[in-house]
């Protein structure tokens, strides 16, 4: 069973109180949200969400990680995986492009390019890729408005199947070999 399918099965259990998985409630700026994890071998997926129904959640963030690192140099790892993520997540509202790549910090940031503009409000996907002993990638949606000091996290309505697909695609990108063609 793929990581995405395992994640979907765990999410479905949210609506089966007698079989409900261990869900950890976390406090964040006065608002409750939940975190649910799924593991498959050395891969993990963690979904942070605010609410849920039978087939979807209000996604705050999805993080996918590996329990083991890559032997590649950080620059090669980050540039290759960032390009793969931009290609594989092409089904999101806006295309992704590398916004920043810093091999010294072991991180790459991708954002929607161009972002969604509704009046003066700007919404965009952000993907943070980390190269470390346990590589990971975190996806979240943000909103910014003129006159605000900082951006805000957007709770995005996401179906279980979308989250499963994203988890599988991100896992595949993290695990790809530098000498293999990207899918």
Radius of gyration, alpha carbons of the chain = 17
Domain boundaries, the chain: 3-175
Query: What is the pTM (predicted TM-score) of this model?
Result: 0.88
CB 65 within 8 A of CB 74: no
Q: Cis peptide before 143, with omega less than 30 degrees from 0?
A: no
Bridge partners (DSSP) listed for residue 3: none
Convert the pLDDT of each residue in 110-168 to its tens digit.
999 999 999 999 999 999 999 988 899 999 999 999 998 899 999 999 999 999 999 99
Q: Which residues contact 64 (CB under 8 A, 6 or more apart)?
A: 3, 43, 44, 45, 46, 136, 137, 166, 167, 170, 171, 174
């Amino acid at each position: 069973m793929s990581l995405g399918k395992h994640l979907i099965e765990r999410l479905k259990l949210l609506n089966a109180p007698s079989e409900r998985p261990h869900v950890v409630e976390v406090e964040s700026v006065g608002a409750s949200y939940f975190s649910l994890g799924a593991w498959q071998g050395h891969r993990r997926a963690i979904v942070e969400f605010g609410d849920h129904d039978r087939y979807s959640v209000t996604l705050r963030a999805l993080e996918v990680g590996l329990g083991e690192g890559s032997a590649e140099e950080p620059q090669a790892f980050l540039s290759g995986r960032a390009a793969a993520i931009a290609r594989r997540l092409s089904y999101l509202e806006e295309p992704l492009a590398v916004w920043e790549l810093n091999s010294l910090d072991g991180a790459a940031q991708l954002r929607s390019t161009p972002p969604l503009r509704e009046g003066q409000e700007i919404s965009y996907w952000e993907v943070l890729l980390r190269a470390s002993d346990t590589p990971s990638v975190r996806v979240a949606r943000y909103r910014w408005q003129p006159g605000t000091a900082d951006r805000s996290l957007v709770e995005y309505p996401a179906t279980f199947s979308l989250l499963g697909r994203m988890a599988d695609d991100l896992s595949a990108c993290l695990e790809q070999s530098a000498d293999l063609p990207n899918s």
